[in-house]
């Protein structure tokens, strides 16, 4: 009787060990066969019509280690003008992402600003011919600027915004999204946006040499192989 019980117990333990080994093997296999990303770049309406001379060029490219869960995009801003251009070191203001038509998810409450985050020191100067780069992980929270209302007005007398804010935003890639496009737009041509900027910071964009024009980056055609 005891010998039969010990045999059954031994079989159960052996089965548990085999199941554990199989699970470990699967996890190792899965980690070594994670989804890969391929991409192509194309130019599509690289600049909008603008009353301002062309001053900035934006180039985007995915990081080689990007995954569906961590889609990291390198953003490079190039000053192609003959004058210094001011730029938000957080890569937030006047920038808008377009990712396969997906809606950008935003935190319900604005970012709690500090004296440093609202200071002039937040903005850097890009000299003529120079460039500035930063990685933005679109599937993780990143800073994004927005405003509501305010009408058009003009640059000398921008309409007062109803609400201006900076939030943490991100995108979520559904499993069905295996092919999609990514683009980035800079729009400093809206008087309403300029008014919202001044309302939030307490100084005008011109005071930190922000460009009043608009442009779009190259477009990335992304394929996820999983």
226 residues of the chain, pLDDT tens digit each: 555 545 554 555 545 545 454 444 434 434 444 567 888 988 865 555 456 678 999 999 999 889 889 999 999 999 999 999 999 999 999 999 999 889 899 988 899 999 999 999 999 999 999 999 999 999 999 999 988 765 555 545 555 545 688 999 999 988 888 899 999 999 988 888 888 898 899 999 999 999 999 999 999 999 988 7
Distance CA 217, CA 146 (A): 20
pTM: 0.77
Q: Measured between alpha carbons, how far is residue 164 from residues 80, 114, 150, 167 in Å?
A: 30, 16, 10, 10
Q: What is the pLDDT of residue 193?
A: 84
| DSSP code of residue 91 | S
Residue 15 makes CB contacts below 8 A (sequence gap 6+) with none
Which residue bears the tokens 């737009």? 185
Q: Which pair of structure tokens corresponds to residue 129?
A: 């011919």
CA angle 99, 105, 110 (to 5 degrees): 130
The predicted pLDDT at position 73 comes to 97
Alpha carbons 148 and 162: distance in angstroms, whole number: 6
- Can you give the pLDDT at residue 81? 94
């Amino acid at each position: 009787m005891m010998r039969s019980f010990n045999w059954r117990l031994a079989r159960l333990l052996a089965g548990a060990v085999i199941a554990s080994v199989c699970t470990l093997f699967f996890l190792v296999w899965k980690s070594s066969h994670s989804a890969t990303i391929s991409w192509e770049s194309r130019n599509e309406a690289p600049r909008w019509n603008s009353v301002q001379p062309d001053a900035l060029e934006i180039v985007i490219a995915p990081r080689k280690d990007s995954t569906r869960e961590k889609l990291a995009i390198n953003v490079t801003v190039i000053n192609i003008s003959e004058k210094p251009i001011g730029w938000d070191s957080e890569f937030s203001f006047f920038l808008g992402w377009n990712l396969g038509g997906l809606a950008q998810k935003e935190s319900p409450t604005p970012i709690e600003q500090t004296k440093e985050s609202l200071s002039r020191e937040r903005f850097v100067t890009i000299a003529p011919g120079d460039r500035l780069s930063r990685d933005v992980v679109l599937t993780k929270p990143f800073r994004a600027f927005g405003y509501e209302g305010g009408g058009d007005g003009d640059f000398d007398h921008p309409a007062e915004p109803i609400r201006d804010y900076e939030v943490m935003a991100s995108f979520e890639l559904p499993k069905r999204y295996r092919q999609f496009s990514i683009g980035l737009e800079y729009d400093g041509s809206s008087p309403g946006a300029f008014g919202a900027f001044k309302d939030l910071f307490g100084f005008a964009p011109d005071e930190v040499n922000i460009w009043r024009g608009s442009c779009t980056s190259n477009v990335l055609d992304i394929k996820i192989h999983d």
